[in-house]
Amino acid sequence: MMSDYNWFEGIPFPAISYQREILEDIRNRFVVKEEDLLILTYPKSGTNWLVEIVCLIQTKGDPKWIQTVPNWDRSPWIETDIGYPALINKEGPRLISSHLPIHLFSKSFFSSKAKAIYLIRNPRDILVSGYFFYGNTNIVKNPGSFGTYFEWFLKGNVIYGSWFEHVRGWLSMREWDNFLVLYYEDLKKDPKGTIKKICDFLGKNLGPDELDLVFKYSSFQAMKENNMSNFSLITEDRVTNGLKLMRKGTTGDWKNHFTVAQAEAFDKVFQEKMAGFPPGMFPWE
Ligand code: PPS
């Protein structure tokens, strides 16, 4: 059923761009440096939005970098066959993006002082985002229908495995000083406040005008128009039908796609799998 994936330690990875040797190397040999910044997410959580914000914070709002260098070169995806060698050869402080679950991530991180930001999004919106994004590509097995994808997602039979396990795993680090947990929903509700929070975590002191520039150039519309950020440079010979990253960029779109029965089934699984977290842990509840 799921034979179109690259399996590693019981987790399905996309059918293209992933190799077992690289995944093993990341976990056992890759050295995270103290000055690196990790951007950690389950897929479709708003990773590239966070990458954009962090890049703009680094340039104090100057858009030159984000408008001339593709996002995957600014913050390479460690687990891909392009990102891994790029990171190995990169000098100086690195931005590193990853969708890996905690148990597959580089062991060296857990004894380093490198900072990491873990971005969480309502898994219902992630499900919808992923369904439309991967839809008819050669990255995943085609589910054929929304209902089938819904079932796969709840069971964790999707790339990178279960959202519930991913979030539970990484949240175990939430009390660490070098680990910041953010929510897509907060970025939507209070972008400037959340950008400020990221600056504080990174020890970057930006003035009000610089913060305004970060906000302006990381907006949905600005990113949609920026070919270095919207994935339009990924050609259809590499990914069937191409990839449209900037779809809607909203919260609660799941309500337009879930049936009442699906919403109830999702709630039930969510409550079972995420039991034990303090009230208010997830802002969409
Ligand atoms: S990926 O492919 O896993 O790396 O995708 P990821 O970047 O994690 O998530 C893609 C979703 O994030 C939305 N997005 C944004 N929303 C609001 N504002 C900005 N600036 C922004 N940039 C990206 C993007 O639209 C995807 O969500 P959906 O719901 O599909 O629109």
Enumerate the domain spans of the chain.
Answer: 5-274
> Could you tell me if 117 and 201 are in contact, meaning their C-beta atoms sit under 8 angstroms apart?
yes
User: Mean pLDDT, to the nearest integer, of 160-177?
Assistant: 98
User: Mean pLDDT, to the nearest integer, of 7-34?
Assistant: 94
For 107-156, write each residue's pLDDT tens digit: 999 999 999 999 999 999 999 999 998 877 878 888 989 999 999 999 99
Query: What pLDDT is attached to residue 2?
Result: 41
Give residue 225 CA to ligand 1 midpoint distance, Å.
14
* Residue 118, SS3 per DSSP: strand
Q: What is the mean pLDDT of the chain?
A: 94
Number of H helices, E strands in the chain: 13, 6
User: Mean pLDDT, to the nearest integer, of 235-261?
Assistant: 89
Query: What pLDDT is attached to residue 285?
Result: 58
Which residue's CA is minimally distant from atom 17 of ligand 1? Answer: 249
* Residue 99, SS3 per DSSP: coil
CATH homologous superfamily, domain 5-274: P-loop containing nucleotide triphosphate hydrolases (3.40.50.300)
* pTM, to two decimals: 0.96
Residues in Cβ contact with 54 at an 8 Å cutoff, skipping those fewer than 6 apart? 37, 39, 75, 95, 117, 198, 202
* pLDDT of 3 strictly over 70: no
- The number of the ligand 1 atom at minimal distance from the alpha carbon of 129 is 30
Which residue's CA is minimally distant from atom 16 of ligand 1? Answer: 249
Percent over 70 (pLDDT), the chain: 99
Give residue 284 CA to ligand 1 midpoint distance, Å.
17
Does ipTM surpass 0.90 in this model?
yes
Give residue 9 CA to ligand 1 midpoint distance, Å.
27
Higher pLDDT, 25 or 138: 25
For 257-270, write each residue's pLDDT tens digit: 999 999 999 999 99
Q: How many CB atoms lie within 10 A of CB 5?
A: 18
Does residue 99 have an active-site annotation?
A: yes
